Chain A
Amino acid sequence: KAGVTQTPRYLIKTRGQQVTLSCSPISGHRSVSWYQQTPGQGLQFLFEYFSETQRNKGNFPGRFSGRQFSNSRSEMNVSTLELGDSALYLCASGGQGRTEAFFGQGTRLTVV
């Protein structure tokens, strides 16, 4: 069974631009959660999608948004990028019961 796939692996953007990150969960998993990981703040929960609906949301500004498609693939969008948005963005796929979360390798975003 293939694992969680995140694309791209690395991204460099300029302040003010927007970016879209993609996550394909494990086949059969319907839940996708997004996390921001920085050295200072650790793993911060962004939001979770289940069956194309946002089920939970963390404390991030409206510049951070996401969506989930009917095949459970999810995208995360960050608009008007700031230097502080530089981080590793991780996606986690959940199975039945949703409690076990399996992470992808992440997308490392650098904002310059």
Chain B
Amino acid sequence: GENVEQHPSTLSVQEGDSAVIKCTYSDSASNYFPWYKQELGKGPQLIIDIRSNVGEKKDQRIAVTLNKTAKHFSLHITETQPEDSAVYFCAASIGDNDMRFGAGTRLTVKP
């Protein structure tokens, strides 16, 4: 089955700096890659996703890139703000099959 690895497990940046979180997946058939943000006491919230027919997608300060050849994808957050502090999860799925999640990255943005 699919295996997703996520790095780093913790990340601390200064407000205004950029943050990058990277994930690798094992099954080349995976074709959907979402990113979730989980704040304390809440369920994960979808923040951006990318499908395998696209190499990059942006939404304001957030961008995701996908390298199908290397089987890795990354989340980029620019101009970080304290409210970006949360745990971020990447995930990968193959069509209608179950979604497998990375172990999570705890991002802290220091004011």
Q: A residues within 8 Å of B by Cβ?
A: 4, 33, 35, 42-43, 45, 48, 55-56, 58, 90, 92, 98-106
Contact = CB atoms under 8 A, between A and B. Distances in A.
Contacts of A100: 34, 46, 49
A45 to B, nearest CB: 5
A102 B46 contact: yes
A43 B101 contact: yes
Contacts, number: 48
Given A103-B43, A103-B44, A105-B43, A42 B93 contact: no
Interface in B53-96: 89, 93, 95-96
B99 interface: yes
Q: Which of B42, B44, B45, B103 has the most CB of A within 10 A?
A: B44
B7 interface: no
Contacts of B98: 33, 45, 48, 56, 58
Given A56-B98, A99-B93, A104 B32 contact: no
A35 B104 CA distance: 14
A32 to B, nearest CB: 12
A42 B99 CA distance: 13
Contacts of B41: 105
Contacts of A55: 96
